[in-house]
């Protein structure tokens, strides 16, 4: 039997390869450039839950994933001896206007009702005090929200740990430097950019923004593209701060305290751009806003500026599962801003589907066949 082919070496592809390897499958993972060269190799690493109000299947799935990720990372670190830079540090959000406090108090009750798992209760606290020496008092005149569910991870350290785990498994081949430009499910063959081909028994498309052209060709005719690329810019600063400080989030600005005195600031969300990998004045503005929110960053030197493309499926939800037209083809992409928090659960779903079993459920809006049906019916 041929190998399981995983196309893409970002967070989705690595988790898929590891889940399959743990099931005893022979896996070949093909990455166009290098592991983590795309959006997964960024800087931010914020693991933030959806709002606790108007609870639905999508929010429940993400909640379960965020809670279970802690144990998954613990096992990954124990087996590889590598740190993923994970900490459940929480999140602090300034309330910009007085009426937002009343809304937030309602959400405090929503969290009590919905943020529970395995005997653990996570909270959405509305409070007056700020985080000393972290969040500016000027931003907290109406109070703040502090949630105890949010966490952070070092994207690059986590990718390195996943890669090490794949190497330990002994049944995963990592193939970097040449991508896949076409897939022929009927003959179990993938054509590479250098003209060579790979045979497979089953294939998982997990190539980030590179997934969408492959899906479109394999699904046509469609009335809209299966997804698009959204550019994000971020920066890494050096600052002597406590790595246990909570993530600051407000109005599109994320400030994430990592280990070793490093702080990540992000991120832009650009649907139109000339150069996908360049940084510009939009990042400069983010840094100014971050320094206003966290005054300790005002003199912090920037040690890296980063830009990359994040995959957003049509309709925004991830696209996951067996392709409706091809029994041996599976899709795992479109996580956009939430990939690191849910990739392990989505990968488990896909590998279970390949193995012919079902251990977890995912929201209907994530299912690949539903995405494809919507794209064939109308523009999204």
Q: Are residues 220 and 243 in the same domain?
A: no
- What does the pLDDT read at residue 315? 86
Would residue 82 count as lying in a domain? no
Would residue 59 count as lying in a domain? no
Task: Give the integer Cα–Cα distance in Å for 165 and 82.
Answer: 10
Task: Give the integer Cα–Cα distance in Å for 96 and 100.
Answer: 7
CATH code: domain of residue 285: 3.30.9.10
Other C-beta atoms lying within 10 Å of the C-beta of residue 4: 26
Other C-beta atoms lying within 10 Å of the C-beta of residue 37: 16
Q: Which sign, positive or negative, has the C-alpha torsion 307, 308, 314, 316?
A: negative
Task: Give the integer Cα–Cα distance in Å for 182 and 192.
Answer: 7
Q: Are residues 246 and 207 in the same domain?
A: no
Would residue 61 count as lying in a domain? no
Task: Give the integer Cα–Cα distance in Å for 248 and 256.
Answer: 7
* Residue 184, burial from CB neighbour count under 10 angstroms (0-12, 13-18, 19+): middle
- What does the pLDDT read at residue 130? 75
290, 296 contact by CB (below 8 A) = no
CATH code: domain of residue 319: 3.50.50.60
Would residue 202 count as lying in a domain? yes
Would residue 83 count as lying in a domain? no
Residue with tokens 């996570």: 122
Q: Are residues 255 and 140 in the same domain?
A: yes
Opening angle at CA 126, ends 122 and 129, nearest 5:
115
- What does the pLDDT read at residue 105? 96
What is the domain range of residue 118? Answer: 88-151+229-312
Q: Are residues 247 and 295 in the same domain?
A: yes
Q: What is the pTM assigned to this prediction?
A: 0.96
Would residue 52 count as lying in a domain? no
Question: 197-200: which pairs have CB atoms within 8 A and are 24 or more residues apart?
Answer: 198/5, 198/28, 198/30, 199/2, 200/2, 200/3, 200/4, 200/5, 200/28, 200/328
Q: Are residues 209 and 341 in the same domain?
A: yes
Residue 122 tokens read as 């996570």
- What does the pLDDT read at residue 2? 60
- What does the pLDDT read at residue 131? 79
Q: Are residues 348 and 275 in the same domain?
A: no
- What does the pLDDT read at residue 113? 97
Other C-beta atoms lying within 10 Å of the C-beta of residue 374: 17
Residue where a domain terminates, one of 282, 312, 342:
312
Would residue 65 count as lying in a domain? no
Q: What is the pLDDT along the chain (380 residues), one digit of tens a residue?
A: 468 999 999 999 999 999 999 999 999 999 999 999 999 999 999 999 999 999 999 999 999 999 999 999 999 999 999 999 999 999 999 999 999 999 999 999 999 999 999 999 999 999 997 777 899 988 988 999 999 999 999 999 999 999 999 999 999 999 999 999 999 999 999 999 999 999 999 999 999 999 999 999 999 899 999 999 999 999 999 999 999 999 999 999 999 999 999 999 999 999 999 999 999 999 999 999 999 999 999 999 999 999 999 999 998 899 999 999 999 999 999 999 999 999 999 999 999 999 999 899 999 999 999 999 999 986 44
């Amino acid at each position: 039997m041929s190998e399981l082919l995983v196309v893409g070496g970002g967070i989705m592809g690595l988790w898929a390869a590891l889940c399959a390897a743990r099931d005893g499958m022979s896996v070949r993972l093909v990455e166009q450039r290098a592991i983590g060269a795309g959006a997964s190799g960024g800087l931010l690493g914020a693991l933030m839950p959806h709002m606790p109000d108007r609870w639905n299947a999508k929010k429940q799935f993400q909640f379960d994933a965020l809670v279970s990720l802690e144990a998954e990372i613990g096992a990954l670190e124990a087996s590889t001896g590598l740190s993923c830079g994970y900490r459940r540090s929480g999140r602090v959000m300034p309330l910009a206007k007085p009426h937002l406090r009343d809304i937030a108090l309602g959400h405090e009750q929503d969290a009590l009702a919905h943020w529970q798992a395995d005997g653990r209760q996570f909270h959405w606290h509305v409070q007056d005090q700020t985080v000393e020496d972290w969040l500016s008092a000027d931003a907290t005149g109406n109070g703040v929200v502090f949630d105890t569910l949010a966490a952070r991870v070092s994207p690059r350290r986590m990718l390195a740990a996943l890669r090490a785990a794949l190497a330990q498994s002994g049944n995963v081949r990592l193939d970097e430097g040449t991508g896949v430009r076409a897939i022929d499910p009927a003959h179990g063959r993938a054509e590479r950019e250098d003209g060579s081909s790979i045979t497979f028994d089953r294939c998982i498309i997990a190539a980030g923004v590179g997934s969408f052209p492959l899906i479109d060709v394999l699904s046509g005719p469609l009335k809209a593209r299966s997804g698009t690329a959204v550019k994000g810019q971020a920066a890494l600063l050096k600052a002597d701060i406590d790595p246990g400080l909570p993530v600051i989030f407000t109005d599109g600005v994320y400030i994430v305290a990592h280990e070793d005195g490093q702080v990540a600031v992000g991120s832009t969300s650009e649907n139109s751009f000339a150069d996908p990998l360049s940084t510009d004045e939009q990042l400069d503005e983010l840094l100014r806003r971050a320094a206003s929110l966290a005054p300790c960053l005002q003199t912090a030197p920037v040690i890296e500026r980063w830009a990359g493309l994040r995959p957003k499926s049509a309709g925004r939800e991830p696209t996951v599962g067996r392709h409706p037209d091809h029994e041996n083809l599976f899709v795992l992409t479109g996580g956009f801003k939430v990939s690191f928090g849910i990739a392990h659960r989505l990968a488990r779903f896909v590998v279970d589907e390949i193995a012919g079993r079902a251990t977890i459920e995912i929201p209907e809006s994530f299912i690949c066949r539903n995405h494809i049906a919507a794209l064939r019916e109308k523009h999204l």
